[in-house]
Amino acid sequence: MSREAVSDFLHAVEHSQKVRNAASSCRSDDELIALANQLGFSVNQRDLNQDSRDSAMTQWFEVSRINSSFQPPKT
């Protein structure tokens, strides 16, 4: 449904050993999505794809030279 749903699911994975164990046994995106849905998170393949692209863009922006032009000057 949204990047927020993916983020909430990842938060659950990070903070619950039971969910982390279940997620680690998933062998495909479909299994991971099914687990998320079983746990009440509205996640689909498009959400995973979008989150992956958003994360890649964020990571690129953090290391690019362009980022420095948007930073406030150091005092």
Tens-place pLDDT, residues 48-74: 777 666 665 566 666 666 555 555 666
Domain ranges of the chain: 3-68
CA distances from 6 to 43, 53, 64 (A): 6, 13, 26
pLDDT, residue 1, reads 46
In the chain, the amino acid numbered 12 is A
pLDDT, residue 51, reads 62
pLDDT in tens, 12-50: 998 999 999 999 999 998 999 999 999 999 988 887 777
Overall pTM surpassing 0.85 (yes/no):
no
